[in-house]
Structure 1
């Protein structure tokens, strides 16, 4: 298959892909927000805060990056600068909240003394607020990079060394640095788990594969499955985007558009945006109580309608 045929395929496929992604993204994140807000999922308040914040950020990514920018194509409108800026803000917030959640779970698992001070509801709320504010502040300059009413990068942005430095810093800050941090934090967590598991089996005198019924190990295993699933999803779906950005930085080909680079950009963009729709399904697969609450949340409107109809018939 020629590269031109691949490009034509992506050009035909992407509009349908983004429409399906918008439906899945909005529904999944809204269900996750509603389910988590009920507080019946068996998760700690700290974890619930992070997961809710991540769901809200992912929902904003779907709204701004998918629906407004890629489906409705909000060009030649006075609001296009604001929408593009909010698109960058939502992505930064989603990415760095994933880092914050990973750090919180690493502290909870590996640093017991720091856990009592950091892994709290107040601590989670503070971190979420800081990440949100910094995401807004660091992306405000994007508002000034587009020509008003056109939403194309201005000549000053393309050729100015100041804007080039800002663009370079943005690419490093999101997502290269978070990508590396998540890998590092998970490596620390895995190393601690392996060492702690060996020590615990020795203390209990359970060697050679024994001790599978250790309740402490079971609780710890359940608590880290969610962390690793979210981290793995982020790494896999962002990997293409990170590799392409790295190649652009090394070869200094920010605006040179070749056929192969165009295909890579399409694929990386599609996978990156898909990452904003996966967390709810990860929660459902890895957390039994969350799965049960999702079913109750989805059933609630129908049961309420049936109950209301039954009462009206009695009247």
Structure 2
């Protein structure tokens, strides 16, 4: 969704085809809504998956009840509904730029966007829900998961070392190697998520306190805004790439997904 709405539609089609159907005011408003929705869905699905992994690794008693397909569906639906409700006002942030033959064209921010306390509250809710809350949660959950893995590793080393040939077993212990890989993976995901998400948070703070949106003509601010938007869009796909490269089961599922249409065609042909 981020790639389609925030990159292809917003940055490529709107820029290179300014007279396309996307320039109709109703379509433009819908596009703004879908852009905000996709970014926040990406962020919160990542956070929900991080919590799911934390429960699966660290909380064995809760694991049997929480890590189920039914609970995953409930979490996904709940997050989706809440984020849709948060982003509905984005459609009303814009008005038409001009009217041609009784048709509304273009989108421009309404006059009271920067001065209205209601819109200010919505900006803070959006910023809080998209960056200020997920980042600390993400770091906390991954830190607790990594700590749990490290404690388990120390216990396993102690048990292995107590045996007569413990040194040889430690050097060839695939479980310890797998856990070390998991820790590296956790810190890689956490680091990339924070580095790519924090800059847009800084922009949100600047906008909230100084109303910088009124000065988008500034070259430096415009460049900063574009750079942070690029990083924010990039952060939506880094986790997928990392898991694809490192997780064998994830790669197998991706292969099955790609092969499924061809398998169906073969069955139909037979």
CA contact (8 A) 2:146 2:186 kept: no
CA contact (8 A) 1:106 1:189 kept: yes
Tell me the CA shift for residue 219 of structure 1: 4.9
SS of corresponding position for 1:255: helix
Tell me the CA shift for residue 186 of structure 1: 1.3
SS of corresponding position for 2:26: coil
Answer yes or no: is 1:245 the counterpart of 2:204.
yes
For 2:231, the equivalent position in structure 1 comes to 271
CA contact (8 A) 1:64 1:86 kept: yes
Residues 114 and 209 (structure 1), Cα distance of their counterparts in 2 relative to 1, 3 Å cut? farther
Equivalent residue runs for 1:74-113 within 5 Å: 74-113=22-61
Say which is worse superposed, 247-256 or 168-177, in terms of deviation.
247-256
Match of residue 118, structure 2, among 140, 162, 171 = 162
CA contact (8 A) 1:225 1:286 kept: no
Tell me the CA shift for residue 192 of structure 1: 1.7
Residues 191 and 117 (structure 1), Cα distance of their counterparts in 2 relative to 1, 3 Å cut? same
For 1:54, the equivalent position in structure 2 comes to none
Match of residue 201, structure 1, among 153, 157, 168 = 157
Provide the C-alpha distance between the structure 1 equivalents of 2:168 and 2:197, rounded to a whole number of angstroms. Answer: 36
- Deviations, residues 1-38 of structure 1 (Å, cap 9, x unaligned): xxxxxxxxxxxxxxxxxxxxxxxxxxxxxxxxxxxxxx
Provide the C-alpha distance between the structure 2 equivalents of 1:271 and 1:303, rounded to a whole number of angstroms. Answer: 37
Higher relative contact order (CA 8 A, sep 6+): 1
Residues 136 and 281 (structure 1), Cα distance of their counterparts in 2 relative to 1, 3 Å cut? same
For 1:70, the equivalent position in structure 2 comes to 11
CA contact (8 A) 2:40 2:83 kept: yes
Provide the C-alpha distance between the structure 1 equivalents of 2:249 and 2:159, rounded to a whole number of angstroms. Answer: 32
Provide the C-alpha distance between the structure 2 equivalents of 1:304 and 1:89, rounded to a whole number of angstroms. Answer: 33
- Deviations, residues 192-224 of structure 1 (Å, cap 9, x unaligned): 222222123223335889624335434545556
Match of residue 84, structure 2, among 126, 131, 136 = 136
Q: Which runs of 4+ in 1 moved over 6 A?
A: 207-210, 299-305
- Deviations, residues 252-310 of structure 1 (Å, cap 9, x unaligned): 545344433222211111121123343443223102344456567667878999x89xx
Q: Name the count of aligned residue pairs.
A: 250
Residues 155 and 106 (structure 1), Cα distance of their counterparts in 2 relative to 1, 3 Å cut? same
- Deviations, residues 97-148 of structure 1 (Å, cap 9, x unaligned): 0100011111111111111111111111111111111111111111111114
Instruction: Structure 2: state its 5+ residue gaps.
Output: 15-21, 97-103
SS of corresponding position for 1:72: helix
Answer yes or no: is 1:122 the counterpart of 2:63.
no
Instruction: Structure 1: state its 5+ residue gaps.
Output: 1-59
For 2:19, the equivalent position in structure 1 comes to none
CA contact (8 A) 1:102 1:231 kept: no
For 2:2, the equivalent position in structure 1 comes to 61
